[in-house]
């Protein structure tokens, strides 16, 4: 049997009320040893005085009891609402530990809920994400995942795979049955195409959304003195990086985080890139180039005097070229600069004057996730989950290719089974055989 665990369900701080949760088979027994009148073994609410082991009154507490399996963890669980001082809360936790409970590990309540099949893995992840959501889209997705809706749709995909597998399996095992007459490679292909589209869409949409959770890794690069640190400061609205007119001011990366409605930028201000003999500056420059390569978005600041041929070779699809210090140019100069860099379609800003509106618009446009926010599609944001779903997608694609190439249907089934196994991993299940067998008999009524 698992230990009885205890933990604060709220931050321990000075507030009106703190909630402590106690979960496990001894919850009632442990709590009852610190109150005068036993808490009845039933779902309900009670007010009680709580005493320490020396019979000194600690606090008047409001208790909410849940008898297994009707609780979040699926175990006997008691929520203790006490007065919200730091000392009182800690004291009550200590008392419960002295009575036989132990401090819960991180996430242990959710883990137990999962072990007792109260929530799925995706829901558990959703709970975590919800707590850590940084922007609206992330909040919406995690709320959906927590509610279990995502699971329902994954279950549907799973059901479709099982249907196709059963269809093929029945045709192989019972060729004499009439029901299997319509199991032609053509029919199977139609089913698999539908399946593949569904999974592929989910992978694509999830990948796009996952950046909303992780934050878009954004490198600010350019030659020294072009105003990279000034741009970082202006975006963050604080003097985070040192700005000076000395070239090579920034030697190491300075980071910052900025939140838009539906996504976050994780900004990395880098050392200016130029030829130098200074060892430390050289190291900084190497790092700048590496960061630009790994970034999801590059803000490449240009000096109007620069030669286009001297620019760093960056992936243009993820780069926004920017002419800073636009406060220095009149209209004629602007037109000239535009012509000079026309292939790069640069945006004009002035970090000094906090004039960044065109850049902000461009970024919002690039990462417009509005349709995702409005869409009803389910979305996975956990990288492991997306990776698994991608494997499901690949297996289905192989099955499709095999059937198109005229391979026998039992070969096709091997990859579909592999896809199913992966999907079960995603759902935290693993009893394929039985499910397929169940489905065959349910659907086809073989042998009655
Ligand atoms: N006029 C004008 N000056 C600016 C602007 N942005 C930055 N500067 C000035 O340009 C100089 C260099 O700015 P930084 O932000 O330190 O440049 P950097 O690219 O980070 O330079 P390194 O760290 O050396 O690579 C400073 O004197 C800034 O005040 C701007 O929009 N307009
Ligand atoms: Mg700098």
Q: What is the pLDDT of residues 311-325, one digit of tens each?
A: 888 899 999 999 999
| Cβ neighbourhood burial of 391 (10 Å; 0-12, 13-18, 19+) | middle
- Which atom of ligand 1 lies nearest, measured to the CA of 251? 23
Q: Which of 223, 243, 269 to mutate to test the pocket of ligand 1 (most atoms within 8 A of CB)?
A: 243
- Which atom of ligand 1 lies nearest, measured to the CA of 245? 27
Q: Report residues whose beta carbon is within 6 angstroms of any ligand 1 atom.
A: 222, 224-230, 243-245, 247-250, 271-272, 324-325, 327-328, 350-352
Question: What mean pLDDT is predicted for residues 255-279?
Answer: 87
Q: Look at residue 445 in the predicted model and tell me its pLDDT.
A: 40
**How many whole angstroms from 227 Cα to the centroid of ligand 2?**
7
pTM above 0.90, yes or no: no
Q: Look at residue 135 in the predicted model and tell me its pLDDT.
A: 67
Say how many C-beta atoms besides its own lie within 10 A of residue 373's C-beta: 17
pLDDT in tens, 395-426: 999 999 999 998 888 889 999 999 999 988 88
Question: What mean pLDDT is predicted for residues 78-98?
Answer: 91
Q: Is the pLDDT assigned to residue 433 strictly greater than 80? A: no
pLDDT in tens, 242-252: 999 998 888 88
Q: Look at residue 10 in the predicted model and tell me its pLDDT.
A: 73
Locate tokens 């809360």: which residue?
89
231 φ/ψ angles, rounded to the nearest 5 degrees = -65, -45
Between 16 and 192, the higher pLDDT residue: 192
Q: Look at residue 218 in the predicted model and tell me its pLDDT.
A: 95
Q: Is the pLDDT assigned to residue 211 strictly greater than 80? A: no
Q: E-assigned strands of 303-342?
A: 319-323
Q: Whose CA is nearest to atom 16 of ligand 1?
A: 243
Provide, rounded to the nearest whole percent, the portion of the chain with pLDDT above 90. Answer: 48
**How many whole angstroms from 296 Cα to the centroid of ligand 2?**
20
Q: Look at residue 86 in the predicted model and tell me its pLDDT.
A: 80
Distance CA 231, CA 224 (A): 13
**How many whole angstroms from 241 Cα to the centroid of ligand 1?**
11
User: Nearest to residue 143, comparing CAs of 157, 130, 124?
Assistant: 130
Say how many C-beta atoms besides its own lie within 10 A of residue 149's C-beta: 16
Q: Which of 351, 354, 357 to mutate to test the pocket of ligand 1 (most atoms within 8 A of CB)?
A: 351
Question: What mean pLDDT is predicted for residues 230-237?
Answer: 94
Contact between 149 and 142 under an 8 Å Cβ cutoff? The reply is no
pLDDT band of residue 214 (cuts 50, 70, 90) is confident
**How many whole angstroms from 230 Cα to the centroid of ligand 2?**
7
In the chain, the N- to C-terminal Cα span, in Å, equals: 42
Q: E-assigned strands of 94-228?
A: 102-103, 216-221
**How many whole angstroms from 200 Cα to the centroid of ligand 1?**
45
User: Nearest to residue 137, comparing CAs of 220, 245, 303, 261?
Assistant: 261
Q: Look at residue 446 in the predicted model and tell me its pLDDT.
A: 43
DSSP 3: P
User: Nearest to residue 388, comparing CAs of 144, 132, 133, 199?
Assistant: 199
Q: Look at residue 39 in the predicted model and tell me its pLDDT.
A: 96
- Which atom of ligand 1 lies nearest, measured to the CA of 232? 15
Q: Which ligand is nearest to the CA of 302?
A: 1
Q: Whose CA is nearest to atom 27 of ligand 1?
A: 245
Question: What mean pLDDT is predicted for residues 163-170?
Answer: 88
Q: Whose CA is nearest to atom 2 of ligand 1?
A: 325
What kind and span of H or E run contains 44?
Answer: strand 44-51
Q: Is the pLDDT assigned to residue 256 strictly greater than 90? A: yes
Question: What mean pLDDT is predicted for residues 16-36?
Answer: 94
User: Nearest to residue 352, comparing CAs of 228, 253, 220, 221?
Assistant: 228
- Which atom of ligand 1 lies nearest, measured to the CA of 230? 15
Contacts of 134 (CB under 8 A, 6+ apart): 213, 215, 259, 264
Q: Whose CA is nearest to atom 23 of ligand 1?
A: 250
Q: Whose CA is nearest to atom 13 of ligand 1?
A: 227
């Amino acid at each position: 049997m698992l230990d009885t665990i205890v933990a604060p369900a709220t931050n321990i701080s000075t507030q009106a009320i703190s909630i402590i949760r106690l979960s496990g088979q001894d919850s009632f027994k442990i709590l009852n040893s610190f109150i005068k009148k036993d808490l009845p073994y039933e779902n309900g609410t009670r007010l009680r005085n709580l005493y320490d082991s020396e019979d000194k009154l600690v606090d008047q507490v409001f208790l909410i009891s849940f008898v297994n399996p009707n609780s979040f963890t699926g175990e006997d669980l008691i929520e203790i609402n006490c007065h919200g001082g730091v000392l009182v809360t800690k004291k009550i936790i200590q008392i419960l530990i002295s009575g036989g409970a132990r401090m819960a590990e991180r996430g242990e309540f959710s883990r137990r809920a999962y072990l007792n099949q109260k929530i799925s893995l995706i829901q558990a992840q959703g709970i975590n994400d919800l707590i850590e959501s940084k922007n609206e889209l992330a909040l919406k997705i995690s709320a959906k995942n927590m509610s279990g809706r995502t699971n329902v749709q994954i279950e549907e995909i799973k059901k479709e795979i099982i249907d196709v597998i059963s269809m093929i399996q029945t045709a192989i095992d019972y060729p004499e049955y009439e029901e299997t007459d319509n199991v032609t490679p053509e029919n199977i292909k139609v089913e698999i195409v539908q399946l593949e589209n569904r999974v592929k869409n989910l992978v694509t949409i999830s990948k796009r959304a996952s950046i909303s959770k992780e934050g878009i890794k954004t490198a600010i690069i350019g030659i020294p003195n072009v105003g990279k640190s000034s741009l970082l400061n202006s975006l963050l609205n604080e003097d985070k990086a040192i700005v000076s007119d000395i070239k090579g001011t920034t030697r190491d990366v300075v980071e910052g985080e900025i939140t838009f409605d539906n996504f976050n930028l994780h900004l990395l201000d880098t050392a200016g890139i130029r030829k130098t003999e200074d060892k430390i500056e050289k190291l900084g420059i190497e790092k700048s180039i590496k960061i630009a390569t790994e970034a999801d978005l590059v803000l490449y600041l240009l000096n109007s005097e620069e030669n286009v041929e001297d620019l760093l070779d960056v992936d243009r699809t993820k780069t926004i070229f920017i002419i800073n210090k636009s406060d220095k140019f009149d209209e004629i100069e602007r037109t000239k600069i535009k012509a000079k860099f026309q292939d790069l379609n640069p945006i004009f800003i002035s970090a000094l004057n906090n004039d960044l509106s065109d850049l902000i618009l461009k970024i919002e446009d690039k990462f417009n996730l509005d349709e995702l926010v409005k869409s009803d599609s389910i979305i996975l944001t956990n990288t492991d989950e997306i990776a698994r779903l991608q494997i499901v997608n690949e297996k289905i694609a192989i099955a499709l290719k095999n059937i198109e190439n005229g391979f026998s249907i039992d070969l096709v089934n091997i990859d579909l089974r592999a896809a199913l196994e992966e999907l079960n991993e995603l759902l935290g299940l693993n009893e394929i055989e039985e499910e397929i067998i169940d489905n065959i008999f349910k659907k086809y009524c073989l042998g009655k």
